[in-house]
Structure 1
Amino acid sequence: MAKQALSLPFDGERLRRHRELSGLFQADLARRCSVDQSRISQLENGDGKPSPPLLRALARALNISTADLLRPDEGNAGPETGGE
């Protein structure tokens, strides 16, 4: 069975920001998520989306929610609250 791509609005820039705020290099995050550093680079640069298991691993490694790695719903006029 092929890996399922994430259909939600993943935001690579948010991934980069949270990684940098955590003081991690791409290689550190990759090691924590059991992927190659090049995959983290691709995600941060908007080249593809993580699978749901990788999205969860990224959030766990960065101690954030998966929602923190997604773009806000463009139809939502309310301010971003940073989680619930």
Structure 2
Amino acid sequence: MPRTVLRLPFDGKRLRVAREDAGHTQQELANLCTNQGTPVSRFQVVRAESGKYMPQPEVFDAFVAVLNIDPDDLLTPREADVRECAR
């Protein structure tokens, strides 16, 4: 089955913050995703956090589920949203 490329404005820095807020190491996050049924390596987490890897939809979903966060928490806010919040 061909892989689907994630076309959302994924923000690796937000993944790192969410992971740290949840109290997990990169390896723990990878293990939790894998144990949930989506194979993820520590290398994928490192690359995703550094912005060098855009996770596949199933990996993105695993991050959201394991970290118990809203999917929007891992996306870069649109400029219009940032301006609206600044008012």
TM-score normalised to structure 2 length: 0.85
The runs of 5 or more residues in structure 2 that have no matched partner are 35-39
**For the residues of structure 2 that align with 1:11 and 1:64, how far apart are their CA atoms?**
14
TM-score normalised to structure 1 length: 0.88
> In angstroms, what is the RMSD of aligned CA positions?
1.3
- 1:57-76 alignment runs, 5 A limit: 57-76=62-81
Shift, 1:75, TM fit: 3.4
Percent of aligned pairs with the same amino acid: 39
Number of aligned pairs?
Answer: 80
Between Structure 1 and Structure 2, whose CA radius of gyration is higher? 2
Equivalent position of 1:26 in the other structure: 26
The runs of 5 or more residues in structure 1 that have no matched partner are none
